[in-house]
Structure 1
Amino acid sequence: MRLNADFTQRASVHFDQTDWVPSPAVGVERKMLDRIGDEVARATSIVRFAPGSAFSAHTHDGGEEYLVLDGVFQDELGDFPKGTYVRNPPTSSHTPATEPGVTILVKLHQFDPNDRTVVRKSMDGAGIVPLHQDAHEYVRIENWAPGASVSIDAPGGIEVFVLDGSFVEDTEEFATWSWLRLPPGSQLLTTAGVAGARVWIKSGHLLGMI
């Protein structure tokens, strides 16, 4: 499968305009944002676990990065409630599950093979909240005031995911849980909505994809 797989092009997906697709695990569905591959894939997805559901134990050869959007994500390492950011590096393994149900944004097989950095932290905070930074990427939360004009140079590309509120980019409105990706060499130019916007941003990581 190839979905939004041309990283030289702008790509966007709106949460309320896409359908849930069943996964191989009972009670686990996903909305695919970008994907190269089948079940083992370089992928960015919104994944929803029904209460009491689980995925079989597996190893993340290419790493796993996720944001807990709603509910509680659970595995052998603990409980991760809404507002948690997690990076499980290559060679890590776990058995994901949830008793109350959970929705996450997850990115798979997108780590540097030598990365062994584990991150587990809250995304709460005002202004800019750094989550992770290395030679390849910068991951953070940004809080934009109502009506704010935002300009971000993105020589290495950029992804923006709306956690709360909304923004407009190139006449296109992005509401909660919608996603935008711009290629390397871009400039992100946005205007926050009337309620402002709280967004997750990853930048600098797309240079190797073109």
Structure 2
Amino acid sequence: MTHPKTPLPFTLSPEMIEGDSADWRQLREGVVLRTLFEDTDSGYSVGLIRYQPAACVPLHRHIGDEHIYVLSGSQQDERGIYATGSYIYNPEGSQHSVSSQDGCLVLVHWHKPVQFIGD
């Protein structure tokens, strides 16, 4: 969902979290994204990412800051395991790979898109 320069107020409802499968796009096998806000000029975006059990996102570098809030389940990277309720900050220039043993749903804010390494 791309918003105009002056966006309207926005609320994330439980229905949007569940959402129709048409509202989600596949990022990787077992990993889907629902974009909630996107500013194409700056690269800033907000979205929900759902990981199926054992799904992963390969090594990538953050071109801008990333903020993640784990809504359900857990995800992990090279620094640890993050359970429901965890907040994760990945600063510009950091890199990691992400996986979820049991599946999870996260809310993510990206200041710029990520760059996959070796992709």
TM-score, L = length of structure 2? 0.78
Matched residues in 2 for 1:5 and 1:95: separation?
32
Matched residues in 1 for 2:44 and 2:88: separation?
17
Deviation at 1:6, TM superposition (A): 3.0
Deviation at 1:87, TM superposition (A): 1.0
Equivalent position SS for 1:56 = strand
2:62 to 28, 44, 60: 60
Whose relative contact order is higher, 1 or 2, with alpha carbons under 8 Å and at least 6 apart? 2
- Aligned residue in 1 for 2:27: 24
Is 2:27–2:33's contact at 8 Å kept on the other side of the alignment?
no
* Letter in structure 2 aligned against 1:10: P
Question: CA 1:5 to 1:104, structure 2 compared with 1: closer, same or farther past 3 Å?
Answer: farther
Is 1:4–1:33's contact at 8 Å kept on the other side of the alignment?
no
Equivalent position SS for 2:11 = strand
Equivalent position SS for 2:54 = coil
* Letter in structure 2 aligned against 1:43: S
- Of the structure 1 ranges 6-15 and 83-92, higher mean CA displacement relative to structure 2 is found in 6-15
1:46 to 41, 45, 48: 48
Which structure 1 residue ranges, 4+ long, deviate > 6 Å from structure 2?
none
Is 2:25–2:34's contact at 8 Å kept on the other side of the alignment?
no
Matched residues in 2 for 1:96 and 1:83: separation?
17
Matched residues in 2 for 1:109 and 1:97: separation?
21
Identity of aligned pairs, percent? 25
- Aligned residue in 2 for 1:87: 89
Question: CA 1:105 to 1:83, structure 2 compared with 1: closer, same or farther past 3 Å?
Answer: same
Deviation at 1:8, TM superposition (A): 4.6
- Aligned residue in 2 for 1:12: 11
User: Which runs of 5 or more structure 1 residues have no equivalent in the other structure?
Assistant: 111-210
C-alpha RMSD of the superposition: 1.9
Q: Going by fraction, where is strand more abundant, 1 or 2? A: 1
Matched residues in 2 for 1:94 and 1:54: separation?
11
* Letter in structure 2 aligned against 1:22: R
Matched residues in 2 for 1:23 and 1:108: separation?
17
User: Which runs of 5 or more structure 2 residues have no equivalent in the other structure?
Assistant: 113-119
Matched residues in 1 for 2:66 and 2:73: separation?
19
Is 1:4–1:11's contact at 8 Å kept on the other side of the alignment?
no
TM-score, L = length of structure 1? 0.46
Is 1:5–1:35's contact at 8 Å kept on the other side of the alignment?
no
Equivalent residue pairs, number: 106
* Letter in structure 2 aligned against 1:16: E
Question: CA 1:5 to 1:59, structure 2 compared with 1: closer, same or farther past 3 Å?
Answer: farther
